[in-house]
Structure 1
Amino acid sequence: MNASTASSPSISSRPLAATRIAAGLAALAFGLVVFLATGFAAPSQIHNATHDTRHAFGLPCH
């Protein structure tokens, strides 16, 4: 068997790094949006949104 046919294809790390950077930036942007949305919202709005989400998932809340 020829050694060149038995080896696996090489995988470049550049697309993997770009994907990881893009995922990190997306997570950072999402976290910033959540942080700012809850930071400037009234406490009753946050409570009502959480309450409605728990009902939507069928979880008990009281």
Structure 2
Amino acid sequence: MTARTSVSSTSSVSVSKRIAAGLALLFVGCTLTFAVGLSHMALAHNAAHDTRHAIGFPCH
């Protein structure tokens, strides 16, 4: 006896939800980058040093 199981899931997310998710992620990423950029901890500063310079954020 052979049983076949076919699971087909199609995830269609609307364009507006994709844009909203992208903007939310962009906001979180920028917030984290600038929060670390303003941090006075040496470890946090060194961890994001190259990223900050790449986007033009002054850290010196």
TM normalised by structure 1 equals 0.45
Q: Comparing both chains, which one has the higher relative contact order based on Cα–Cα distances under 8 Å and sequence gaps of 6 or more?
A: 2
Higher percent of residues as helix: 1
TM normalised by structure 2 equals 0.46
